[in-house]
């Protein structure tokens, strides 16, 4: 029989063997305050058109036993996604460079669009989940109960709130979980549920203090208060989740971001020491040319290993056209805009119209 100290050390060793060094455990007790906050946020419209965030989601996400009956503990991990640390758990940290190799080598190199850091490697949903499921297998072999399903972003589980309660970090005013490690908030979160009463970790006491850099730095005012986001204004939501055409405000808002947004983490002092290669800069004209020539399925195959699958060809093309309009369309790019006006997807045609209208009114 192992004591709590030994069990905690064993869990950490096994996680480290999978390249996961930021680990904590919390109980599966419901998170009643977070449930209420999530319900208020959805009811107030702050989850935009993410209808999947409504209904029973908050009740389920904040009560792990509703996902896995009998769950008594939650093992949370934070997996860094910037710098060399990503390679410890991601077998293809350059997956996006490889998928876009043709576009990245294309000409002209300017203007560029930005892709958020988290999307540069493998699609973390599958890769990190597989890592965690392999870890769960190791835990079971050691006699430590661990569910077969791991949770990484794509199931209803309040990952940030659980990670904070498991002592991995604190929830910053930008709503992200900030760790004390050099990777700061540049981490994915993942979970394994256990039917055992594992030794739990204490939440850490840190907070953002008087800092408000993210609230001031968000280019669209999406952080409407400390720890409160209005996704309708968030570039990450607009470029990845928002369906259909953009209105004028949304088109201006995305600036040069074409997938995700990192600004509220870039300005965060907690991230100052991270090994951070920055967002991926993608030349827009070669990207638009490539996307116009592809069908949705061919795009899906080309980026299958990456998180870009979430946006699909139509949203990425919409975003790239709008970013081109925001940068100012060079003369040689008008034939691309003209082709986009005849694209089969309505949001792409609408983006081309917006670009033309913006240029005409400039
Ligand atoms: C929906 C969603 C989004 C939405 C909404 C974001 C949001 N802040 O809620 C959009 C599309 C905008 C989004 C964007 C991003 N996302 Co996202 N997203 C999710 C998802 C699927 C659900 C989050 C959710 O439930 N939101 C609803 C809010 C209300 O609940 P909550 O976030 O759980 O909890 C909040 C409240 O409890 C509140 N809170 C806590 N205590 C207190 C106290 C007070 C007084 C108050 C007022 C509030 C408060 O703060 C918490 C944090 O927001 C999670 C995965 C998951 N299953 O949890 C990933 C997740 C949160 N996203 C993630 C990432 C990486 C991002 C982006 C960085 C991607 C990018 N670069 O573009 C951006 C960051 C934008 C931002 N500032 O949040 C990571 C975050 C990792 C981390 N370090 O925190 C997660 C955990 C995915 C993962 N498994 O790694 N995302
Ligand atoms: S991801 Fe970008 S738009 Fe969204 S809250 Fe952060 S800085 Fe604002
Ligand atoms: S920028 Fe400042 S206020 Fe915002 S999350 Fe980072 S430390 Fe907290």
Ligand 2 contact, 176 CB (< 6 A): no
User: Looking at the 3D structure of the chain, how many domains does it have?
Assistant: 2
Based on the domain organization, do 108 and 152 belong to the same domain? no
Q: Whose CA is nearest to atom 5 of ligand 3?
A: 172
In a domain? residue 203: no
Task: Based on the fold, state whether residues 128 and 256 are members of the same structural domain.
Answer: no
For residue 227, the CA-to-ligand 1 centroid distance in Å is 9
Encode the chain (362 residues) as per-residue pLDDT tens digits: 578 889 999 999 999 999 999 999 999 999 999 999 999 999 999 999 999 999 999 999 999 999 999 999 999 999 999 999 999 999 999 999 999 999 999 999 999 999 999 999 999 999 999 999 999 999 999 999 999 999 999 999 999 999 999 999 999 999 999 999 999 999 999 999 999 999 999 999 999 999 999 999 999 999 999 999 999 999 999 999 999 999 999 999 999 999 999 999 999 999 999 999 999 999 999 999 999 999 999 999 999 999 999 999 999 999 999 999 999 999 999 999 999 999 999 999 999 999 999 999 98
Tell me how far the alpha carbon of residue 291 lies from the centroid of ligand 3, in angstroms: 37
316 found inside a domain: yes
Q: Is residue 157 part of a domain?
A: yes
The residue whose C-alpha atom lies closest to atom 45 belonging to ligand 1 is: 227
Q: Which of 176, 268, 271 to mutate to test the pocket of ligand 3 (most atoms within 8 A of CB)?
A: 268
Q: Is 221 left (phi over 0), alpha (psi -120 to 50) or beta?
A: left
Compute the distance from residue 85 Cα to the ligand 2 centre, in Å. 24
- Domain closes at, from 164, 194, 224: 194
Which one of 168, 194, 220 terminates a domain?
Answer: 194
User: What is the pLDDT at residue 1?
Assistant: 55
In a domain, 217, yes or no: yes
The answer to whether the CB of 208 is under 6 A from ligand 3 is: yes
Question: Is 116 a pocket residue for ligand 2 (Cβ < 6 Å)?
Answer: no
Q: 106 and 129 in one domain?
A: no
Neighbours of 154 (CB within 10 A): 11
Domain of residue 305: give its range: 95-119+210-361
Question: Taking the complete model, does pTM exceed 0.95, yes or no?
Answer: yes
Same domain, yes or no: 115 and 130: no
| Options 94, 153, 252, 289, the catalytic residue | 153
Are 107 and 235 found together in one domain?
yes
For the Cβ of 223 lying below 6 angstroms from any atom of ligand 3, the answer is: no
Cβ atoms 116, 282 nearer than 8 A: no
Q: Tell me the H-state helices in the chain.
A: 4-17, 32-43, 57-61, 64-67, 95-99, 101-104, 124-141, 159-165, 213-217, 235-236, 248-254, 263-266, 284-292, 296-302, 312-327, 334-340, 346-361
Q: Whose CA is nearest to atom 8 of ligand 2?
A: 218
Q: Is residue 272 domain-resident?
A: yes
Ligand nearest to the CA of 226: 1
**What are the backbone angles phi and psi of residue 138, rounded to the nearest 5°?**
-60, -45
Q: Decide whether any atom of ligand 3 lies within 6 Å of the 174 Cβ.
A: yes
Return the closest-CA partner of residue 238 out of 261, 209, 217, 214: 261
Residue pair 136/150 in contact by the 8 Å Cβ criterion: yes
* Same domain, residue pair 129 and 152: yes
Q: Is 212 in the pocket of ligand 3 (CB under 6 A)?
A: yes
Q: Which atom number of ligand 1 is nearest to the Cα of residue 188?
A: 90
């Amino acid at each position: 029989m192992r004591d709590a100290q030994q069990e905690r050390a064993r869990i950490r060793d096994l996680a480290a063997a999978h390249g996961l060094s930021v680990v904590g455990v919390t109980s599966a007790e419901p998170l009643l305050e977070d449930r209420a906050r999530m319900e208020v946020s959805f009811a107030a419209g702050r989850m935009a058109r993410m209808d999947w965030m409504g209904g029973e989601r908050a009740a389920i996400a904040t009560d792990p036993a509703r996902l896995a009956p009998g769950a008594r503990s939650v093992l949370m991990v934070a997996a860094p996604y910037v710098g060399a640390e990503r390679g410890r758990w991601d077998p293809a940290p350059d997956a996006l460079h490889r998928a876009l190799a043709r576009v990245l080598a294309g000409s002209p190199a300017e203007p560029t669009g930005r892709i958020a850091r988290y999307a540069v490697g493998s699609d973390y949903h599958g890769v990190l989940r597989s890592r965690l499921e392999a870890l769960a297998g190791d835990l079971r072999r050691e006699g430590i109960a661990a569910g077969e399903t791991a949770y990484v972003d794509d199931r209803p589980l309040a990952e940030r709130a659980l990670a904070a309660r498991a002592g991995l970090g604190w929830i910053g005013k930008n709503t992200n979980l900030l760790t004390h490690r050099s990777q700061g908030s540049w981490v994915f979160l993942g979970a394994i549920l256990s039917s055992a009463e594992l030794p739990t970790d204490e939440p850490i006491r840190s907070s953002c203090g008087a800092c408000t850099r993210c609230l001031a730095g968000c280019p669209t005012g999406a952080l409407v208060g400390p720890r409160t986001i209005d996704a309708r204004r968030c570039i990450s939501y607009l470029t990845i989740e928002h369906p259909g055409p953009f209105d004028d405000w949304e088109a201006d808002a995305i600036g040069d971001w074409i997938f995700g947004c990192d600004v509220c983490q870039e300005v965060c002092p907690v991230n100052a020491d991270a090994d951070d290669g920055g967002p991926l800069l993608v030349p827009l004209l070669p990207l638009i040319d490539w996307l116009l020539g592809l069908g949705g399925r061919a795009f899906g195959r080309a980026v299958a290993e990456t998180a870009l699958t979430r946006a699909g060809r139509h949203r990425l093309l919409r975003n790239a056209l709008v970013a081109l309009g925001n940068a100012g369309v060079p003369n040689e790019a008008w034939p691309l805009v003209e082709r986009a006006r005849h694209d089969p997807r309505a949001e792409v045609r609408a983006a081309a119209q917006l670009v033309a209208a913006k240029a005409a009114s400039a």
